Structure 1
Amino acid sequence: MAPPLAWDDFRLIKAIADHRGLTSAAERLGINHSTAFRRLGQIEAALGTSLFERHRTGYAPTPAGEEMAQVAARMEDDVAAFSRKLDGQVLAVSGELRITTADSLFNELLAPILGRFCARHPEVRVDVVLSNQPLNLSKRDADVALRATDDPPDTLVGRRLATIAWALYGRAEDGAEAPLAARRWVSLAEGTGAAKVARYVAARAGPARIAVRLDTVAGLAEAVEAGIGIAPLACLTGDRRPGLMRLSAPEPDLAAGLWLLTHADLRHSARVRAFLDFAAGEIARERHLIEGREPLSAPR
Structure 2
Amino acid sequence: MTLAWDDFRLVKAIADRGGLTHAAAHLGINHSTAFRRLAALEAAVDAQLFERSRSGYVPTPAGLAMVEAAERMETDVARFGREVLGRTLTPSGELRITAPVGFVSDLLMPFLARFREAHPDVRLDVVMSEEALNLSRRDADVAIRATSNPPANLVGRRLSGIAWAVYGRNDRLQDNAYRTRWVTPGGQVADGRFTRLMRARTDVREIALQLNAVTGLREAVLAGIGIGLLPCYIGDRCPELRRLEDPEPGIASELWLLTHPDLRHAVRVRAFMDFMAEAILPMRRAFEGRLDAQAETAKPTP
Fold agreement, TM-score > 0.5: yes
In structure 1, C-alpha distance between the alignment counterparts of 2:172 and 2:294, rounded to whole Å: 15
1:188 maps to 185
RMSD of Structure 2 on Structure 1 (CA):
1.9
Q: 1:86 to 1:32 in 2, by over 3 A?
A: same
Unaligned runs of 5+ residues in structure 1 are: none
How big is the shift at 1:232?
Answer: 0.8
1:270 maps to 267
Other structure's SS at 2:12 match: helix
User: Aligned to 1:161, which of 159, 178, 194?
Assistant: 159
How big is the shift at 1:150?
Answer: 0.9
1:129 maps to 127
Dislocated runs of 4+, deviation >6 Å = none
Report % sequence identity.
Answer: 55
**Aligned residue runs from structure 1 range 98-137, under 5 A:** 98-137=96-135
**Aligned residue runs from structure 1 range 17-166, under 5 A:** 17-166=15-164
- TM-score, length basis structure 2: 0.93
Q: 1:218 to 1:248 in 2, by over 3 A?
A: same
In structure 2, C-alpha distance between the alignment counterparts of 1:64 and 1:186, rounded to whole Å: 51
- TM-score, length basis structure 1: 0.93
2:248 maps to 251
How big is the shift at 1:203?
Answer: 2.2
- Equivalent residue letter for 1:31: I
In structure 2, C-alpha distance between the alignment counterparts of 1:10 and 1:297, rounded to whole Å: 54
Q: Is the CA contact 1:155–1:263 (under 8 Å) kept in the aligned structure 2? A: yes
Q: 1:173 to 1:297 in 2, by over 3 A?
A: farther
Q: Is the CA contact 1:176–1:247 (under 8 Å) kept in the aligned structure 2? A: no
How big is the shift at 1:69?
Answer: 1.1
In structure 1, C-alpha distance between the alignment counterparts of 2:195 and 2:232, rounded to whole Å: 17
Q: 1:297 to 1:269 in 2, by over 3 A?
A: closer
How big is the shift at 1:261?
Answer: 0.8
2:258 is equivalent to residue 261 of structure 1: yes
Unaligned runs of 5+ residues in structure 2 are: none
How big is the shift at 1:274?
Answer: 0.8
Matched residue count: 296
2:168 is equivalent to residue 210 of structure 1: no
How big is the shift at 1:249?
Answer: 0.5
